[in-house]
Structure 1
Amino acid sequence: MTRSIRTAAICATAIAALAAGPALAQGKGKAAKARLLDPAVADDALEISKRVQCGEADGKPGVYHWSGKVYSRVAGEPDRLLFKAEGMNIRTCTTVDDPVRGKGWRLVSRELLLYLDPKTGEVVRQWDNPWTGEKLDVLHIANDPVNQSPQFPKSASGTPYSIPTLRREGRWFFMPFEAPLFYTNPLQGEYQDWVGGKYHAMEIFDFAFDAEEMLDTKNPTAYPTVSWVRISDFLPWMKMRGRQGQLVFNAMGNKLKSADELPAVLKAEIAANYPIYVAPPPVDDKRPNETSWTVFKKWVDARKPAK
């Protein structure tokens, strides 16, 4: 997801998680007796979030997959189906201790989204822009890394950790959140507050998971489903030259038991062109997060002829 599941650093804003505490007995290293987590307790809420986000244990990969479509929306014309899409995020978590805020965790990840031909389902290498008539090379989303800040039982101000959007309906938990984005666009100049050019988008995530699987600590993790919507400007590689319009991404997916469950098109593309996506970044990764816009800037700058 572009800043998520792209922004999964997005993901960081609203679905964070932690602590191996409930899973291990202190001191002896033996498995603690299974119990039910209580979402109203800060440590347990943190553990629930960790089960949404992470793999089974520190350093063990977790994989999300999502599948959907990409539409254009331009005033005065019908919406167009531009692409189908297949995406994945591979991540892992590590325990982080803070003397004041307690034992928490940090997530590191990288994510990939492929644009597919809506009729054939094949990976699109070049795209005929229907508005300009140009044939353009396609830059698929390949953001590495997409990491999150550490999450703890207490915030910096001492507020207990909670998941305010979490609600239960029968056997299901639902955890929706919206991430409105409005920040400096790396492709624009330094006067964006005066003349515009800011990156403006919204990402919407809706997680759903089985309450019994999530709350019972006998289960080392949980396997939620997720829906993802992104509304954003046209992508820079589309070379729209400031034309009015937006893109609407709509996808659904889930956390997988392993990367072996990814669809064939993703596994083939990773093997051929994105080999590092078989594993998450190292847990001590200190690199700044990438987005579709920062990756594009490096991509287009590398293609400029030498002066």
Structure 2
Amino acid sequence: MNNNWMTKPRSRRETLQSALGIGSLAAGGMLASACAPASDPQPAGAKREPVDFSDPTQSLRAFIKLTGDLDPTVETPSWFGGTVFGDARRDRALKPLFGVQGFGVLRTEQEADGSFRIFNRECAFYTDLKTGKFIDQWKNAYTKEICDVKPIHNMTVNAHLIVSKKVGTAIEMDFDGNVMEVPLPLGWQNFDDKLFSTFEVHTAFPNLLKPEDWPRESAGKVLRMAEIFQRVVSLAEVENPDLTSADYSGCWTRVGPWLPWMRQGQTPGNLLFRTFMTKLRSIEQIPADLKAITEERLPEFFVAPPPETWGTENDSSFSVYAQENEPLPALEE
């Protein structure tokens, strides 16, 4: 049987929906509401203080203003939504598996040395590609097994953004119990008033879900991740000293292993997350269906982590799964 979705007869509407990934975004008008600008356009004659993006200290400060708020009392929500694809065979096209929609809330604190503490919390729910509705079960597109879907609910995803003598800007972060310093090239480019920012984190670290203990859920001994955040912002907002925050819209891309709840085990392959994202003015801008399911199931996710979480281990889809679930028995051969 040919499982290559690209070769099956499809209507023009189906082709456009797959190409644009609108199955999980169009329902309820969530794309239009979530992508409303988080700040008003800059008035004529607004103040400007040019930023030297080649200076790591100025670059880092601009990045904090873009992603969050320089005011340590302000919590910044952001939304993301898109499609998750599976890559199981090198001779076949990627397969769209399900949608994803979620949000994060972060707060920043600048330290005396110019570095920034990031207090971040994030959650997301997976959706049916056809209806855009949130799902609690998913029929595995490869094995046909019915799997219980586990939402992303990471209570603490803190990070320390620093200026490193070796690499310039860098991020110090706990990855499932492994504290790592990763170079943070911010990749600024501008075109007239459009300022582009690229933030990438590429890591590989031991998997908490060891294959010998979690034969159905573990993707292997090592988790290899690539997270790429691309944002577009007004240069005038970034250079306005009267503003502590600058609006952005952009894309989040992630390449990583199978999720534990998919029950793929050590089957070769990986997932590609392709999403839009944008900064929000407030929690009230979160799409109604996402806000409702979060209020029902994860009400504590509307605020950033408190200061006392600093220095504690971060959460991830893998560490949270290990905390909340027991290993499934291996399949009989």
Q: TM-score, structure 2 length as denominator?
A: 0.72
Equivalent residue number for residue 24 of structure 1: none
Corresponding position: 1:74 with 2:88? yes
Aligned residues of 2:60 and 2:169 also touching (Cα < 8 A): no
SS state at 1:107 partner: strand
Residue deviations 1:141-160 (CA, integer Å, cap 9, x gap):
11120101153xx4366968
Distance in 2 of aligned mates of 1:267 and 1:249:
21
Change (3 A) 1:150 1:175: closer
Structure 1 alignment gaps of length 5 or more: 1-32, 191-195
Instruction: Indicate which of 316, 324, 332 corresponds to 1:299.
Output: 324
1:183-202 aligned at under 5 Å gives the runs 183-188=205-210, 197-202=221-226
Q: Does the 8 A contact of 1:225 with 1:255 survive in 2?
A: yes
After superposition, the Cα gap between the structure-2 partners of 1:202 and 1:38, relative to the gap in structure 1 and judged at 3 Å, is same
Following the alignment from structure 1 to structure 2, what is the Cα–Cα distance between the partners of residues 159 and 119?
45
Counterpart in the other structure of 1:65? 79
Out of 266, 281, 285, the residue aligned to residue 305 of structure 2 is: 281
Aligned CA distance change for structure 1 residues 159 and 238 (closer, same or farther; 3 Å): closer
Q: Secondary structure at the match of 2:164?
A: coil
Distance 1:73 1:170 in 2: 38
| TM-score normalised to structure 1 length | 0.77
Return 136-145 or 75-84, whichever deviates more. 75-84
Question: Measured at CA, do residues 300 and 214 of structure 1 come closer, stay the same or move farther in structure 2, by a change above 3 Å?
Answer: same
Residue 56 of structure 1 contacts residue 220 of structure 1 at CA under 8 Å; is this kept in 2? yes
Following superposition, the deviation at residue 95 of structure 1 comes to 2.7
- Indicate the residue corresponding to 2:164 in structure 1: 155
Residue 168 of structure 1, CA deviation? 1.5
Secondary structure at the residue paired with 1:272?
Answer: helix
Q: For 1:91, what is the secondary structure of its paired residue?
A: strand
Matched, 1:54 2:71: no
Structure 2 residue 138 is the aligned partner of structure 1 residue 127: yes
- Checking the alignment, whether the CA contact within 8 Å between 2:70 and 2:108 is kept in structure 1 is no
User: 2: CA distance between counterparts of 1:37 and 1:107?
Assistant: 25
After superposition, the C-alpha distances for 1:149-194 in whole angstroms (9 at most, x for unaligned) are 153xx4366968996511221111111133222111111179xxxx
Aligned to 2:156: 145
Identity %: 24
5+ unaligned residues in a row in structure 2: which ranges?
A: 1-45, 171-183, 213-219
- What amino acid is aligned across from residue 326 of structure 2 in structure 1? D
1:38 is matched with: 51
Give, in whole Å, the separation in 1 of the partners of 2:88 and 2:114.
48
Equivalence map 1:245-284=2 (5 Å): 245-284=269-308
Change (3 A) 1:302 1:269: farther
User: For each residue in 1:20-64, what CA deviation from the matched residue of structure 2 results, as whole angstroms up to 9, or x when unmatched?
Assistant: xxxxxxxxxxxxx95514224454323201102223511211011
**From 198, 206, 211, the counterpart of 2:230:** 206
Contact 1:94–1:283 (8 Å) recurs in 2: no
1:45 aligns to what SS in structure 2?
A: helix
| Deviation (angstroms), 1:113 | 1.6
TM-align CA RMSD: 2.6
Give the whole-Å Cα distance in 2 for the aligned partners of 1:188 and 1:206: 32
What is the count of residue pairs matched by the alignment? 261
Question: Aligned partners of 1:237 and 1:158: how far apart in 2?
Answer: 37
SS of the aligned residue for 2:74 comes to coil
Matched, 1:229 2:253: yes
Letter in 1 for 2:305: P
* 2:147 equivalent in structure 1: 136
> Does residue 105 of the first structure (1) align with residue 129 of the second (2)?
no
Shift of 1:221: 0.9
